[in-house]
Structure 1
Amino acid sequence: MDIHLRDLRYFVAVAEELSFTRAASNRLFIAQPTLSKQIRQLELTLRVALFERDRRTVTLTPAGSALLPRARALLEQWGTTERELVGTAGRSTLTVGFQTRIGRGLIPMVTARLERLHPEWKLLFRQVSWADPTAGLASGEVDVAVAWLPFPAGAEFSWKAVASEQRWVALPAGHRLADRAVIPFDELTDEPFIALPASAGPLREFWLATDQRSTPARVAAEAATADETFEAVASGLGVVLLSEGNVAIYQRPDVVCRPVSGLPPSELAVAWRTRDDRDAVRVFAEACVRCLCDAPAS
């Protein structure tokens, strides 16, 4: 039988939370039906029930109780193994998660600094769906992430803001507001919006500007990636807020972007797992801050 580390991470999260909902939304940042499906598959593979479920409670079965300390130990052993292999490998990879194209001159500068200080490392970039607001950190898919705030709260993640940018709006070409130089947010509140998936949580609400509304946003559609979002806008389904720095990156003839007044700015951050103390992670994070914040060299 083949058991993946991801399945063990999912099992441990549910076992520690004793709630599929909390494990999915607070620990793993995936949809709850997806988590339930993965746990059922793990139980089928192991041929044992790991949880007793009813409408209100989740408890471990004897088999689940027996597996929990072993699963924790296996995950810890693998983490130790990964760290040790980094020290012995001739060249190691630091995987960077992102959800919108990074741009801003960040990657050439960070790559050059990492090459200078740690030539044994190379960077690999992986685009992650908006459905995961940690941009792949929670699942272990990436080592560091360049992500938008608000970032999920919790001691397991650390982050530093590296850029603050005004929020703009993307409109379909020919929209009634497309000729305006600046658009007050009050004139957008009744527009249909393209939203991030519900699992994005506070990040979805930020890009809908929920805190600045007196009534809930009209959500016309959801999109899992930036490319899907702008395709929906171009098709006339709705409008979407975006950061000023992404305006040039996602420029296309069938979409018009304009600055929006009446909103606090967006913030871009570099994030990592708090317990990941590898020097390459520190160098990457510090290089992001130096590049976009113009921080002095230490």
Structure 2
Amino acid sequence: MRAFPDLNLRALRYFEALGTELNYRRAAEKLFITQPALSAAIQNLERVIGDRLFDRNTRSVTLTATGREWLPHVRKALAEVDSALEAVAMLVDYAHVRLGYLIGTGADLLFQLLDGVESAFPDITIETLEFDFSDPTAGLASGATDIALLRPPVDVPDMEMVIVAEESWVACLPRAHRLADRTELRIEELLDEPIVVAPKSAGKWREYWYAADARGGVPPQIAAEAATYESEATLVARGVGLSFTTSSMVRLYDRPGIQFVPITNRPISYTAVAWRPDRLTTPARRLVEHMITGAPRPQSRH
């Protein structure tokens, strides 16, 4: 039997992602890496095993015969590895729960949701992890967190969630913008403006926040990308472009040089506690129950 000493688990995950998506951009976004890094990893994997796994050209990516035959075995192996990792996590660090939150949501809402948790569960250690706009799933998609406080829609398979807050949309405008003195706006008035958006890795979350559904298939005029509210507010203040955000940001991220104006005809934006049931340990489940039942929900933050 031939040995592959240089073959590692990460390479198998990369192969599985590309074999599923058959698209370097989507696979890279799913893995939270760059396309060049994914391409280099796949080429190295092909060198290690001694055969091509993909046929690729400028228009398409397809599995070779070797790739098609090997992919089910890799999926099975990864499922077994994930099961083994879950088992050892429960044995070694059973009462450690990783709680991810999207930047901005932790400013006040996270503290409300965790109120009283230390006295209720003295045996549970909670690690809170902040994520920026490059990962709006707050670690839930990658498995970096067990529970996430996030703003849907996000790309997470088999995710369950409970809404805990709701907000209205606002436009964040440069203070010198021609519409900055308005008391309210409609989304149609803003669609032709240069806009500051989240990084590409945010997927459909980014599309939601540049109002793709209201654009009739016309792409936005992207002026810049920002991964944090601080960066977004700075770019807007400089006049690079406007951005779309929510009502709580008016209070939390108001800065000189910007003006917030309510948008009247957008759907409510929700904040949710989310988890993946198949990966939820008993301590994490207890924490979820505390977070979603500890106070009346949802609460409006206008």
Q: Give the superposition deviation at 1:117.
A: 2.7
String of CA shifts for 1:3-39, please: whole Å, max 9, x gaps.
65443322222234455455445x5465544432332
Q: Aligned in 2, Cα 1:191/1:81: closer, same or farther, shift over 3 Å?
A: closer
Contact 1:193–1:208 (Cα < 8 Å) also in 2: yes
Q: Give the superposition deviation at 1:239.
A: 0.7
Pairwise CA RMSD: 3.2
Map 1:79-158 → 2, pairs under 5 A: 79-89=83-93, 92-110=96-114, 112-113=116-117, 116-117=120-121, 119-128=123-132, 130-152=133-155, 154-155=157-158, 157-158=159-160
Q: Tell me, yes or no, if structure 1 residue 227 matches structure 2 residue 230.
A: yes
Q: Give the superposition deviation at 1:223.
A: 1.9
Q: Aligned in 2, Cα 1:136/1:91: closer, same or farther, shift over 3 Å?
A: closer
Q: Aligned in 2, Cα 1:121/1:4: closer, same or farther, shift over 3 Å?
A: farther
Q: Distance in 2 between matches of 1:161 and 1:107?
A: 16
Q: Aligned in 2, Cα 1:19/1:252: closer, same or farther, shift over 3 Å?
A: closer
Q: Distance in 1 between matches of 2:156 and 2:129?
A: 24
String of CA shifts for 1:73-125, please: whole Å, max 9, x gaps.
25533443333433443852414142444223323542632652362322231
Contact 1:97–1:142 (Cα < 8 Å) also in 2: no
Deviates more, 1:33-42 or 1:251-260: 33-42
Q: Aligned in 2, Cα 1:109/1:148: closer, same or farther, shift over 3 Å?
A: closer
TM-score, length of structure 1 as denominator length:
0.80
String of CA shifts for 1:191-244, please: whole Å, max 9, x gaps.
211112334232222211222345543221122333322221121101111111
Map 1:209-228 → 2, pairs under 5 A: 209-213=211-215, 216-228=219-231
Aligned to 1:252: 255
Q: Distance in 2 between matches of 1:76 and 1:99?
A: 33
The correspondence for 2:200, drawn from 198, 201, 221, is: 198
Q: Distance in 2 between matches of 1:70 and 1:84?
A: 21
Aligned AA for 1:113?
V
Q: Aligned in 2, Cα 1:285/1:21: closer, same or farther, shift over 3 Å?
A: same
The correspondence for 1:280, drawn from 283, 287, 291, is: 283
SS of equivalent to 1:194: strand
SS of equivalent to 2:208: helix
Q: Tell me, which stretches of 5 or more residues in structure 2 are unaligned?
A: none
Q: Distance in 2 between matches of 1:190 and 1:63?
A: 44
TM-score, length of structure 2 as denominator length:
0.79
Equivalenced residues, count? 291
String of CA shifts for 1:275-294, please: whole Å, max 9, x gaps.
11312332343344335753
SS of equivalent to 1:183: coil
Q: Tell me, which stretches of 5 or more residues in structure 1 are unaligned?
A: none
Contact 1:233–1:255 (Cα < 8 Å) also in 2: yes
Aligned to 1:177: 179
Q: Aligned in 2, Cα 1:293/1:252: closer, same or farther, shift over 3 Å?
A: farther
SS of equivalent to 2:271: strand
Identical amino acids, percent of aligned pairs: 32
Q: Distance in 2 between matches of 1:24 and 1:182?
A: 39
Aligned AA for 2:106?
I
SS of equivalent to 2:223: strand
Q: Aligned in 2, Cα 1:64/1:271: closer, same or farther, shift over 3 Å?
A: same
Q: Distance in 1 between matches of 2:23 and 2:109?
A: 43
Contact 2:174–2:237 (Cα < 8 Å) also in 1: yes
Q: Aligned in 2, Cα 1:57/1:181: closer, same or farther, shift over 3 Å?
A: closer
